[in-house]
A and B are shown apart, each in its own frame.
Chain A
Amino acid sequence: MQKNISRRSFLKFDVKEQERIVCIKPNFPSPEIAQLELENIENEPFIFKLPVVKDKAKKIETIPTLKKLNSSEWDMSKTAHLLRRISNTANYKDIEQLYNKGLDNTVQQLLDNAKNTKAHPPGNWVYEKVPNFSQLSSGEKSEIRSLYSDRRKILIDWWQDLILKDGISLRENMTLFWHNHFATNAQSVFFPQAIFEQNDAIRENCIGNFKTLLRRITFGPAMMIWLDLNDNKKNAPNENFARELMELFTMGVDTYTQDDVINASKAFTGYYTDGFETNYYSDYKRGDGNYWQAHHDHNLKSFMGRTGYFNGDDIIDIILEQDIVAEFICRKIYKWFVYEIPDDNFVEKMASIFRDNNYQIEPVLHFLFTSEHFYDENFFGAKIPDPTFHTLGMINKLGHKNTTFPNRYIYRSIQSMGMVLFYPPDVNGWSGYRSWINSITLPFRKMVVSQIANPSLNKSLKFETNLIEILNDLSKPQDLRQSIKDLALVFIGIPLSKALEDKLIDNVMDGASEYEWDLNADGIENRINILFQNLLKLPETQLI
């Protein structure tokens, strides 16, 4: 019998052995506050970067067609594949239900869920103006700093909770996709209002129009602070934002020249934020006020072969005229939902749909999720979910969604696997793919899941699991082998081999025949527990 791991021994693992990444801006919002932030760094989320794994699978032939999946081919395993990739939250009943709904209705429902949605904010403080720091006493500064620090942590809990309760929906996954794309670090941004504003803008436009989204992000206070637009002035240009706009947000490396960077940064001078409000006027598509007049470079600029009195909006317009943008974004969407090694032909088709629809994101996703290519079995179980979707997804699948969670437990778990929402390690976002798994994170990924599924343990964690109920919801609860197949649909991307089924059965039955399996037998709880513990510790369970 294995020994249970106590919560205490779990919490003892010290992520602080990792190399800490500090993203505090030296003089922002004032030198004194930055100093206070540094002195209190111990209380801030611990950010570290997982070692990058460059190693990739060999490219293989996948279904080359751009056709829609024939509705006659829609089956339980394809439904399960879609649901694992969309939210990783569906249990067996959910899969059954959406299988019965059919491909088109299912995809439409998922897209409708994500359209134009706003989340209830964590408090009215997200709309609170920021104080004028130069007028505060040092005591007040210190107070505000620690208040903002607490609010940044509240935002992490808030978003985790939204993801947990999002159910079978595309909304939070797409919101995370764009958060990872426009990777902005909350420690650097400092103002919780600004961080909320960015997240809110993403959620509202997560499958809407990319042009709108790009503008909201660019001229939002969080990005202005994060990539130094705030410091970009006519007499002291800062190239940080202009470069990343092209390299990371729209076109990719080697698609622009250093002259483009210099001219674009000139066009992006003169914007300003105090951490809550900005001097950007979306109606006029330019900055405004005395600051704009004083610090915007009003001279002629040449950018990507065009010349004019460009401002930031004009630069965005010119960039969006480039064909490469749609391809760049669609390649990233493909990697997020399908696989790390894209099929170029398929990506090109996604890109042309993106362009034809004036950068509406929804039609691209619709095409992707209804395509025959997406359901190629070569991709089944080829994705390693990020720590957030791995952990929160498991909680959902194990039927916990209505329980109140000790947020710190979830936070610590996800953090030990190398992720903190709102705190990407740098502007590239999280490395993803195989980097999520190494010999430190893998035992943790397994342990957290096994804790969540362990009824005797999760009482002390204030979870409630009813494993018997999960089994009773399967297609043939009295048939152990069928139950294992059904559970695999929920928890594992790869179809189980006969040998692995046998092994799981042997371990549960302890030598007895599988036909002795009886959910009403005395002591069955212990057997069920063994079944779940073994299943969830398989290397296969890391793959969706």
Chain B
Amino acid sequence: MKRRDFVKSLTALSVAGSQIPLMAFGRPKHLRTSSGKWNPDRIVIMIKLNGGNDGLNTLIPVQDQIYYDLRPNLSLRTNDCLPLTYDTKLHPSMKNTKTLFDQGLASAAQGVGYPSGNLSHFRSSDIWVTGSGSEKIWKTGWLGRMFKYDYPDYPSSIPEHPIGIQMESSNLLEFQAEDVNMGTIIGSNDSLYNIIKQNYFPGTNDPANDNYGGSELEYIRAIDRSTFEYSDTIQNAGNRGLNKVEYPNTQIGVQLAVAAKLISGGLKTPVYRLNLGGFDTHANQFFFHADLLQQLDDAVFAFIKDMSAQEMLQNVLLVTTSEFGRRVKENGSKGTDHGTAAPIFLYGTSLRGKILGSQPNLSDLDSKGNVKIQYDYRQIYSSIMKDWFELPEITAKEVLGDDYTPLDLIKEPSLNISNDIQIPSSFELSPAYPNPFNPSCLVKYRLPKGSDVTISIYNLNGKEILKEQLGYKNRGMHQYTVLPNNWAGGTYLINVKALGSSKTHKITYLK
């Protein structure tokens, strides 16, 4: 993504979000009360892989024959994968993550979940964001409870910077405290920001009447101003901040670029919740999953390089979550169904740089054919609270309602990170245009260095219907025209191979 585009997407920041009732204003801001017990420099970026990421095809158990037996179509060949340990390899899309593992900047924990896993997206997502067990329905989010601990007076006094920022989803349950929501939503949708700006006429600061009408007026004034002021705070941080590297122009790439820019601009928000959708791969998983992991891998790597170049990486921890993993046995549609435990990934300078836990025992599955859990997801939250934010142990216990032993993942951040993280050569594939299309569409790709290029097109059943070897192409931007010849109308996958990696996009042919 071009620098120019970022500026645009940041003036385009829109702010909405939390509800700030009561008299949040008319008091000086420094009166905000924080317990002061946590480390104010630390930032965590949580990325949700929406839909349920297939753990077994992310950290591949290359030594386990059962994996290959249960997944005749979907298993990844060991030679294609990237070695991490003697029995575990990474998905071939995650070249950068492999580099980061090698440099001690990435970690993972295997088999993360909770007892009696619920297989509904909604319910399991709610469990992860509330921090409950499967048997309980909680109405508040773990982050909401954590923040309430640090800002007990919120919302009577509010901090200068938003406490939690969420992108690409406006379901703020994770930030819900007992009586107030502490999350702020931002997006790259310019309209809402403009709407806030253009419809702000604050009136006066007269004290409202001491009656019911006045009480409601105070409530509305507080929301009116906090909406407006946080939109300015965020906007200003965005204008001050910068990105030192180019990010891929993908859903997660843009989100991470915006987060990096806000952090760079001095926004003190401790938690960002980002979202990458599409992991519910019930059918034709192979290409879709590869593409999603690629998007994640490229975007995270750009972010790490950016923060490292700005010497801010030691303040940032990235954590991936997903509502569940997927069934061990592939289904009849070349996909996988909802499962239970799955690995999570962490990125940053303060990691132990290893994989916690072991490959799941595929000969010991539960009654639905899912792997058993090794770590409770709340242990991760516990690690974040205790080892990252340095909150007292009792906080984690109060927030989670029980003791969850922190995992041995996070250590003191290292300050001596070399700024020249090895950059593997990878190429960029832009979305096809127009799409849907008829009669033809254009696919653009950019090579960081010269390479042989092959283009293949598959139908949704995974059948290759076209393969073209384009031969050697020089460094730079190239384009390829898709011209269907007697195709049926519908969705196809276009796959470009270059520089030893491959990227896939969906195209839809209208007939």
Is B189 part of the binding interface, using a Cβ–Cβ cutoff of 8 Å? yes
Contacts A9-B191, A55-B22, A434-B21 given; indicate if A439 touches B216 (C-beta within 8 A): no
Contacts A5-B194, A55-B179, A494-B217 given; indicate if A440 touches B17 (C-beta within 8 A): yes
Q: At the interface, is chain A mostly helix, strand, loop or mixed?
A: loop
- Interface size on A (CB < 8 Å)? 54
Is A380 part of the binding interface, using a Cβ–Cβ cutoff of 8 Å? yes
In B198-232, which residues have CB < 8 Å from any A CB?
Answer: 198-204, 206, 209-217, 219-221, 223-224, 226-227
> Shortest beta-carbon distance, A426 to chain B, in Å?
15
Is A75 part of the binding interface, using a Cβ–Cβ cutoff of 8 Å? no
> Shortest beta-carbon distance, A23 to chain B, in Å?
14
Is the CB–CB distance between B17 and A447 below 8 Å? no
Is B482 part of the binding interface, using a Cβ–Cβ cutoff of 8 Å? no
Residue A442 contacts which of B176, B191, B223 (CB distance < 8 angstroms)?
Answer: B223
Is A408 part of the binding interface, using a Cβ–Cβ cutoff of 8 Å? no
Is the CB–CB distance between B198 and A2 below 8 Å? yes
Is B435 part of the binding interface, using a Cβ–Cβ cutoff of 8 Å? no
Is the CB–CB distance between A13 and B217 below 8 Å? no
Is the CB–CB distance between A57 and B215 below 8 Å? yes
> Shortest beta-carbon distance, A244 to chain B, in Å?
20
Is B171 part of the binding interface, using a Cβ–Cβ cutoff of 8 Å? yes
Residue B195 contacts which of A51, A55, A341, A444 (CB distance < 8 angstroms)?
Answer: A444
B residues near A51, Cβ cutoff 8 Å: 19, 172, 176, 181
A residues near B16, Cβ cutoff 8 Å: 439-440, 443
Interface string of B182-203 (1 = CB under 8 A from A): 0001010111101110111111
Is the CB–CB distance between A379 and B200 below 8 Å? no
> Shortest beta-carbon distance, B120 to chain A, in Å?
12
Is A162 part of the binding interface, using a Cβ–Cβ cutoff of 8 Å? no
Who on chain B is nearest to A451 by CB? B199
Interface string of A337-354 (1 = CB under 8 A from B): 001010000000000000
In A1-24, which residues have CB < 8 Å from any B CB?
Answer: 2-3, 5, 9-10, 12-14, 17-19
B residues near A537, Cβ cutoff 8 Å: 199-201
Is the CB–CB distance between A442 and B224 below 8 Å? yes
In the complex the two chains form, what is the Cα distance from A538 to B203 in whole Å?
6
Is B103 part of the binding interface, using a Cβ–Cβ cutoff of 8 Å? no
Residue A12 contacts which of B181, B189, B227 (CB distance < 8 angstroms)?
Answer: B189
Who on chain A is nearest to B171 by CB? A19
Is A450 part of the binding interface, using a Cβ–Cβ cutoff of 8 Å? yes
Is the CB–CB distance between A493 and B213 below 8 Å? yes
> Shortest beta-carbon distance, A454 to chain B, in Å?
11
> Shortest beta-carbon distance, A457 to chain B, in Å?
11
In the complex the two chains form, what is the Cα distance from A381 to B196 in whole Å?
23
Interface string of A362-381 (1 = CB under 8 A from B): 00000000000000011111
B residues near A377, Cβ cutoff 8 Å: 211, 213
> Shortest beta-carbon distance, B356 to chain A, in Å?
32
Is B35 part of the binding interface, using a Cβ–Cβ cutoff of 8 Å? no
Is A144 part of the binding interface, using a Cβ–Cβ cutoff of 8 Å? no
> Shortest beta-carbon distance, B425 to chain A, in Å?
36
Sampled A-B contacts (19; CB under 8 Å): A9-B191, A12-B191, A13-B192, A17-B187, A53-B19, A53-B21, A55-B21, A55-B219, A378-B211, A382-B211, A434-B219, A439-B223, A439-B227, A443-B199, A447-B198, A499-B204, A537-B200, A539-B220, A543-B216
By Cβ-Cβ distance, the 6 closest A-B pairs, closest first, are A57-B215, A381-B213, A382-B212, A439-B227, A537-B201, A446-B199
